[in-house]
Amino acid sequence: MLLHLKDILTKEQVKEIRQALDQANWQDGKLTAGNASRQQKSNLQLNQEDPLARKLGDFLLHTLSQREDFMGSALPAKIFPPMFNRYERGGAFGFHVDNAIRQVPNTPVKIRTDLSMTIFLSEPEEYEGGELVIQDTFGTQEVKLPAGDMVLYPSTSVHKVNPVTKGARVSSFFWLQSLVSDNEQRRTLHQLDQSIQGLRKEHGEESEHIQNLIWVYHNLLRQWSQTN
């Protein structure tokens, strides 16, 4: 399941974040790459311990917590603190799969990466290249979204970032462990939830059939979810 969530950030919020990041102390992205992906990676990243990264990351997490479309589709149990990267001057990241387990820095918390997320912080016309290419059962998708929008996709997907040949591609990227680890089960729940919301708008809250669907949804969630 690949989802495009629009307007996670307003244009004014994007502007403020970019102004801060444009003055940030960027580091070589290879410092955070694993052995398998180090040779594939050419970008800049903000150190996770940088106070700016923490401040902006907390803001993004709070913003996402208010989004029903995100909460309903991802069913997050734990979210890895948002990170920030910058691609320019030919920077790219070859095909790879994200690490299955991520440990939150300076904590014992480990997160299974069920879903990967990218929030775009550069407008598409600000740079050339830089498409996020995702390969999965839904085919090959090239993603290049407006600033403030987010793409959400399975962390099992093979993906890459095409070379940025002009301008700069700035984004936030991170992962989450879902209450429902299986992608097909999570997609089924999302489709059921979307159908329920649509029926509510058409027929109101009192329909016996809608109430039955709500019970089915929660019973499936109870059966499939893992809280640890």
Residue 96, annotated as binding a ligand: yes
For range 52-63, the mean pLDDT: 97
The overall pTM is greater than 0.85: yes
* Mean local confidence (pLDDT), 166-178: 97
The answer to whether the beta carbons of residues 213 and 189 sit under 8 Å apart is: no
First to last CA, the chain: 23
- State the Cα–Cα distance between residues 29 and 209, nearest whole angstrom: 52
The phi and psi torsions of 93 (rounded to 5 degrees) equal: -145, 110
Is 169 labelled as part of a ligand binding site?
A: yes
d(CA 72, CA 190): 7
Q: What is the pLDDT of residue 36?
A: 57
For range 144-152, the mean pLDDT: 98
- Calculate the alpha carbon distances from 121 to 27, 210, 226 in Å: 18, 39, 33
H or E stretch covering 177: strand 164-178
Tell me which of 16-30, 100-114, 153-167, 203-217 is least confident.
203-217
- 39, burial (CB in 10 Å: exposed 0-12, middle 13-18, buried 19+): exposed
98 is in an annotated binding site: yes
In angstroms, rounded to a whole number, what is the distance separating the alpha carbons of residues 10 and 85? 20
Tally of residues, the chain: 228
Question: Could you read off the pLDDT of 118-146 as tens digits, one per residue?
Answer: 999 999 999 999 999 999 888 899 999 99
Task: Select from 149, 193, 157, 148 the least CA-distant residue to 175.
Answer: 157
Distances 149 to 115, 145, 208 between C-alpha atoms, Å: 16, 6, 37
- Three-class secondary structure of residue 151 per DSSP: strand
Q: 62 among the known binding-site residues?
A: no
Using DSSP bridges, classify how beta strands 41-42 and 150-154 pair: parallel, antiparallel or unpaired.
unpaired
User: How many other β-carbons are positioned within 10 Å of the β-carbon of residue 211?
Assistant: 12
Q: Sorting pLDDT into bands at 50, 70 and 90, what band is 38?
A: low
Q: What is the mean pLDDT of residues 20-37?
A: 80
- Report the interhelical angle of 183-203 vs 208-224 (nearest 10°): 160
Token digits of residue 75: 């069913």
Q: Which residue has the higher pLDDT, 206 or 180?
A: 180
Cα distance between residue 122 and residue 136, in whole Å: 25
- pLDDT of 42 higher than 60: yes
Cα separations in angstroms, 169 against 13, 110, 166: 17, 29, 9
CA–CA distance, 34 with 153 (Å, rounded to integer): 21
With beta carbons less than 8 A apart as the criterion, state whether 85 and 118 touch.
no
